[in-house]
Amino acid sequence: MKLFIIGLLSGIISGMGIGGGSILIPSLVLMANLSQHQAQSINLIIFIPVSITALVVHIREKNIFFQYTKWIVPGGIAGAILGSISALRIDANNLRKYFGIFLLFIGIYELLKKR
């Protein structure tokens, strides 16, 4: 039941386009006692069906401007390759700290940005 609730909250956040990993990864590490690498790997697997579902909804609502994707998608794929190789080479404790720092900066940015 605990994992279902973690998945539900992560899915809601992902559907909003915010990034469910910000909920999923810390929850899996803290509540399911998984390593940082395991949690991040699970996040990547869960991302596929969740993102496809959200994508379908946003396409139906005409929220996507496809002319921007021709540069963003290849850059994202290249970044994913580099990021996954880097993550595998970083110690799990350091990776958890870097992820926490990243979330902290994103939170501060969101609080301070002008609407």
CA 41 to each of CA 60, 61, 79, 105: distance values in angstroms, whole numbers, following the listed order: 29, 30, 16, 23
Per 3-state DSSP, the chain is made up of helix, strand and coil in percentages (nearest 5) of 85, 0, 15
Rounded Cα distance, 9 and 60, in Å: 23
pLDDT of residue 82 exceeding 90, the answer is yes
The parent domain of residue 29 ranges over 2-112
pLDDT at res. 85: 92
Match 């970044």 to its residue by tokens: 79
Nearest Cα neighbor of 26 from 43, 2, 1 is 43
pLDDT at residue 54 greater than cutoff 90: no
Instruction: State pLDDT tens for residues 11-50.
Output: 888 777 677 788 889 899 999 999 989 998 998 898 888 8
Query: Residue 91: pLDDT band by 50, 70, 90 thresholds?
Result: very high
Tell me the mean pLDDT in the region 98-111: 88
Q: Which amino acid is at 55?
A: L
How many domains does the chain fold into?
Answer: 1
pLDDT value, residue 113: 87
